[in-house]
Amino acid sequence: MANYKEAHICQCLSRLATVRGDAIVTVYGHRRKTGTQFVRGVFSIARGLLQLGINPGDVVSISALNSDLYMEWMLAITYVGGIAAPLNYRWSLEEAMSAMEVAQPLLLVTDSSQGYWHSKFRIDYVPSLLWHVLIDSMSVDAKGTATIFAAELLKEPTERSVKLDYVWAPERAAIICFTSGTTGRPKGATISHSAIVVQSLAKIAIVRYNENDIYLHTAPLCHIGGISSAMAMLMAGGSHVIIPKFEAKKASEAIREHLVTSFITVPTMMADLISFIRTKQTSENFETVKKILNGGGTLSVDLIENATKLFPRAMLLTAYGMTETCSSLTFLTLHDPTKENHFQQLCGFQKSHSSCQEGVCIGMSVPHVELRISQEDSSNTGKILTRGPHVMLRYWGQTPSKHLGPLQETWLDTGDIGHIDDHGNLWLIGRAEDRIKSGGENIFPEEVEAVLSQHPGISKIVVVGVPDSRLAEIVVACIKLKDNWHWSDICFNHSSSDKVQSVSSETLKQFCREKNLTGYALL
């Protein structure tokens, strides 16, 4: 028997259909839908899935560009107790097939966009597939394949109505969200309804999403960041402006045309937006934007300063998280336009702690998230562990014990190294797997990169460890110099008035010493 006291991501639909029934909640090109129309779309697909024979626990995969239909399908799948398994449209065909071998979907939903793996996919490539639905086409496959249906045909009502009420999949699983797959086979993090709901509530509480927001979809709905933020906005009752994929030109046009108030970004997106606006050689800024949430890496000082000029009224936050934790674990406010000199104060705080605290401050955990440090020695630095309703159930097809931390099965090892200060702030040092072991000491590439990136002559930096017969590994930095700088094996003492600007190994070592980089980490 269903327990309706438990969380279900489709519980937001009743509010959308009533409180936001007559308001526009989705904008996709020229297509606009009210709350009532959007909910009817979800119900229509849900009926079609039931008629097709989808049962609780069945997996349905989606590969498509962002659209209102994508959101309707994801909700409809979970409404009938199915498990949605979004697939990255940018994958190769081989990567997509590998992910489907893991997920074993019965149904694949794709759009008609060309140039991506699903445009050349055949249903007989994956043995588990019974059906293939086209999300945005009325036509049936020209080859007459009986297992390909058009989405609109699937949504057509039948004479015999199907009674609807949301149900849960086993384990209360909602989605299988795949990790990047950069090392070996893609792994599918199985995320529960509760995890998505508590993550949405955290974003509503901290980013302050509300029904007056106009949210621009910049992140793909196959990524946990895009999914969790979309769900937060659905729960808040705001409006969704959807572009198929992020492009700086389209995003800036959408912000201007629809008076967008919020969106999420990663450093590359922010850099592209700023660069695009600069090429227009205009002093235009976007004063409607009130909330920007950054993920996928920290923003540089330059990006933060330029972003605050481009979006002068926006609260700029950054989040730290991962797919396995249903997105964000911590939040940090980088800029608050209501507080004078907030960014300078934040920089001062981080600088004052940097001499005694390693790493980058990434903020405090949200209320439902527990964090702890698994200390490997006498220092307060170690592996970052977390537990709570936000943690994935398991990797799909694996038992929980294969991914949980060694200390307690309830703790998830994030794979990151850091520490928590006396104020409750989490400081991130780097990935455990990336650390360099030199002379018995642990060195994290990110720490060295953070210091060297402050040098005025360096534009890009990557730090790696290379084998060494005496120290096991030594630290090597691969740098790209700015246009007006060059490399020299001779050590120069330069003043700001020098016409020739150069760097050498020795000058960079001295720069690192002045920045208090640990001695054994020097090049």
pLDDT level of residue 157 (50, 70, 90 thresholds): low
Average pLDDT, the chain: 85
Contacts of residue 470, defined as CB under 8 A and 6 or more positions apart, other chains included, come to none
Please state whether 488 falls in left (phi above 0), alpha (psi between -120 and 50) or beta: beta
> Exposed, middle or buried by CB within 10 Å (0-12, 13-18, 19+), for 259?
middle
Q: Kindly give the pairing relationship between strand 214-217 and strand 239-242.
A: parallel
pLDDT level of residue 333 (50, 70, 90 thresholds): very high
Contact in structure between 298 and 316 (CB atoms under 8 Å): no
At residue 409, the pLDDT reads: 63
Q: Kindly give the pairing relationship between strand 107-110 and strand 59-63.
A: parallel
Is the pLDDT score of 464 beyond 90? Answer: no
pLDDT level of residue 190 (50, 70, 90 thresholds): very high
**CATH number belonging to domain 437-521:** 3.30.300.30
Is the pLDDT score of 209 beyond 70? Answer: yes
- Which of 71-85, 161-175, 322-336, 388-402 is predicted least confidently? 388-402
Average the pLDDT over 129-150 and give the result. 67
Average the pLDDT over 230-246 and give the result. 97
* CATH fold of 246-365: Rossmann fold (3.40.50)
- Which of 182-196, 340-354, 413-427, 428-442 is predicted least confidently? 340-354
pLDDT level of residue 234 (50, 70, 90 thresholds): very high
Mean pLDDT is highest, among 56-65, 283-292, 453-462, 479-488, for 56-65
Question: Which CATH architecture describes the domain 9-190?
Answer: 3-Layer(aba) Sandwich (3.40)
The reply to whether 437-521 shares the fold of 246-365 is no
Q: Tell whether the torsion through CA atoms of 213, 216, 218 and 223 is positive or negative.
A: positive
At residue 486, the pLDDT reads: 85
Q: Which one, of 284, 340, 293, 344, lies nearest residue 314 by Cα?
A: 293
Q: Tell whether the torsion through CA atoms of 344, 348, 354 and 357 is positive or negative.
A: negative
User: For residue 310, what are its two tokens?
Assistant: 């481009």
User: For residue 260, what are its two tokens?
Assistant: 């967008």
Question: Is the model more confident about 421 or about 181?
Answer: 421
At residue 143, the pLDDT reads: 40
Span 293-332, pLDDT tens digits:
999 888 888 899 999 999 999 999 999 999 999 999 999 9
At residue 490, the pLDDT reads: 58
- Which of 79-83, 230-234, 240-244, 519-523 is predicted least confidently? 519-523
CA-CA distance, 37 to 240, in Å (whole number)?
Answer: 14
At residue 405, the pLDDT reads: 47
How many C-beta atoms surround the C-beta of residue 429 within 10 A?
Answer: 22
Is the pLDDT score of 204 beyond 60? Answer: yes
| pLDDT above 70 coverage of the chain, percent | 83
Average the pLDDT over 484-507 and give the result. 69
User: For residue 414, what are its two tokens?
Assistant: 């994030």
| pLDDT above 90 coverage of the chain, percent | 56
Is the pLDDT score of 360 beyond 90? Answer: no
At residue 148, the pLDDT reads: 66
Give the residue extent of every domain in the chain: 9-190, 246-365, 437-521
pLDDT level of residue 390 (50, 70, 90 thresholds): very high
Contacts of residue 206, defined as CB under 8 A and 6 or more positions apart, other chains included, come to 317, 331, 366
Contact in structure between 107 and 54 (CB atoms under 8 Å): yes
Contacts of residue 436, defined as CB under 8 A and 6 or more positions apart, other chains included, come to 442, 443, 444, 445, 464, 465, 473, 475
Is the pLDDT score of 73 beyond 50? Answer: yes
Contact in structure between 329 and 371 (CB atoms under 8 Å): yes
User: For residue 273, what are its two tokens?
Assistant: 């937006």
Q: Which one, of 421, 327, 417, 423, lies nearest residue 369 by Cα?
A: 327
At residue 256, the pLDDT reads: 94
